[in-house]
Chain A
Amino acid sequence: RKEVEQDPGPFNVPEGATVAFNCTYSNSASQSFFWYRQDCRKEPKLLMSVYSSGNEDGRFTAQLNRASQYISLLIRDSKLSDSATYLCVVNSNNFNKFYFGSGTKLNVKP
């Protein structure tokens, strides 16, 4: 079983739509969780960390569900510029390793 799993998509949504991605992780001891955004042929960039209590940054909301071992990313009022691949990253601090999901591709269309 993979450490981190994501639906590869693509998710094709119209501008203004709300879209959500989930990411499941297998190691219950995982400590830190992040969402990264990767544009085509570019390096991943940190979008937001995911806190236990959930956190919001503008149109983006991230949540953590430890009981079910998944994190989620909600994007409201989608913009064309949101089109990218969203990577889920999980860190097990005990082992100092970061595990990546395969990424979920989002296409926001006019």
Chain B
Amino acid sequence: GAVVSQHPSWVICKSGTSVKIECRSLDFQATTMFWYRQFPKQSLMLMATSNEGSKATYEQGVEKDKFLINHASLTLSTLTVTSAHPEDSSFYICSAEALGRRYYGNTIYFGEGSWLTVV
């Protein structure tokens, strides 16, 4: 089945530093990837849609200069949290869209998620 790999799983960083999270589709090409954030006991919140070869589309209220997204290839998207602060501590999850194949419509598969703690 489709697999999406996310790295790192856990990261602790100092306030003011930047952190990069990678999302890779391992056995399919993903022209579109999505980045989400989830605070404890809350739902997934879409941050941005990452399109290969073009600029990401950010959801309302998400600062594009703070959350830099790069989708340089059909299998890799990265999210960089710049100048991280404690309030950015959260669970960040990526997903990639697998087109057609066995499933009705398009199906999304999730990475394992990255726990970011900013101290």
Most buried by A among B109, B110, B111: B110
User: Which residues from chain A contact B110 at a C-beta distance below 8 Å?
Assistant: 43-45
A65 proximal to B (CB < 8 A): no
* Chain A window 77-96, contacts with chain B (Cβ cutoff 8 Å), 1 for yes, 0 for no: 00000000001010101001
A32 proximal to B (CB < 8 A): yes
Task: Looking at the assembled complex, report how far the CB atom of A21 sits from the nearest CB atom of chain B, in whole angstroms.
Answer: 14
Q: In whole angstroms, how far apart are the Cα atoms of A49 and B100 in the complex?
A: 12
A41 proximal to B (CB < 8 A): yes
User: Which residues from chain B contact A102 at a C-beta distance below 8 Å?
Assistant: 42-43
User: Which residues from chain A contact B42 at a C-beta distance below 8 Å?
Assistant: 102
Q: A43-B110, A44-B110, A96-B32 are in contact. Are A49 and B105 (CB under 8 A)?
A: yes
B68 proximal to A (CB < 8 A): no
User: Which residues from chain B contact A29 at a C-beta distance below 8 Å?
Assistant: none
Q: In whole angstroms, how far apart are the Cα atoms of A34 and B103 in the complex?
A: 10
Q: In whole angstroms, how far apart are the Cα atoms of A110 and B115 in the complex?
A: 32
Which residues of A44-74 have CB atoms within 8 Å of chain B's CB atoms? 44-46, 49, 51
In chain B, what residue has the closest Cβ to A93?
Answer: B105
Q: In whole angstroms, how far apart are the Cα atoms of A46 and B103 in the complex?
A: 11
Q: A43-B93, A43-B113, A98-B34 are in contact. Are A103 and B107 (CB under 8 A)?
A: no
B112 touches A101 (CB 8 A): no
Which residues of B27-84 have CB atoms within 8 Å of chain A's CB atoms? 32, 34, 42-44, 46, 49
Task: Looking at the assembled complex, report how far the CB atom of B29 sits from the nearest CB atom of chain A, in whole angstroms.
Answer: 15
Q: A43-B93, A46-B109 are in contact. Are A100 and B44 (CB under 8 A)?
A: yes
Task: Looking at the assembled complex, report how far the CB atom of B100 sits from the nearest CB atom of chain A, in whole angstroms.
Answer: 11
In chain B, what residue has the closest Cβ to A48?
Answer: B103
User: Which residues from chain B contact A1 at a C-beta distance below 8 Å?
Assistant: none
B91 touches A101 (CB 8 A): no
Q: Contacts A89-B108, A91-B105 given; 13 further ones with Cβ under 8 A?
A: A34-B108, A41-B91, A42-B112, A43-B112, A44-B93, A49-B103, A49-B107, A87-B44, A96-B49, A97-B46, A97-B49, A98-B46, A100-B44
